[in-house]
Amino acid sequence: MAGYSDILQEHFKNPRNVGEMEDADGVGRVGDPTCGDYVVIWIKVRDEHISEIKFKCLGCPAAIGTTSIFCEMVRGMHVDRAAELSDEVLEEAAGGLPEEKRHCSNLAPGALYDAIVNYVTREVAKSARTGGGKV
């Protein structure tokens, strides 16, 4: 695994938060059409913070490792802050990536953003059904 940092290699070998979530508050997916790699992220949200997170990744070591690192980074974070995290922030947290693997750090932030949009959409629908209130 030449070119990968120790932290990335460790997360690839022992990825955290792998799995699916039956009762998620939001689910997001993103794929890279150029390489075919794919990530799904499930979140639970309490008081607008990510309380639980799970992921599945069909992808390369960099995609799996960065998604594992990202899930650890955002657990406990406010959804607004988590939605703003960029692939550059993740790449830095992963100790950098070889040039040809830099696109692999796009997947987790994209899937999480999609999961947060899904969560907000569900909250808006719930609020509309119950006659309004805070979203």
Residues lying near ligand FES in the complex (CB under 6 A) are found at 32, 35, 37, 59-60, 62-63, 101, 103-104, 107
Q: What number of other Cβ atoms are within 10 A of residue 72's Cβ?
A: 15
Which residues contact residue 122 at a Cβ distance below 8 angstroms, ignoring those fewer than 6 apart? Answer: 25, 26
CB of 59 to ligand FES, least distance (A): 5
Q: Give the length of the chain.
A: 135
Q: Which H/E stretch holds residue 124?
A: helix 107-129
Kindly state the smallest distance separating residue 32's Cβ from ligand FES, in Å: 5
What is the closest distance, in whole angstroms, from the C-beta atom of residue 37 to ligand FES in the complex? 4
Nearer to ligand FES, 31 or 123 (CB): 31
* Residues paired with 46 in a beta bridge: 49
| Closer CB to ligand FES, 45 or 56, in the complex | 56
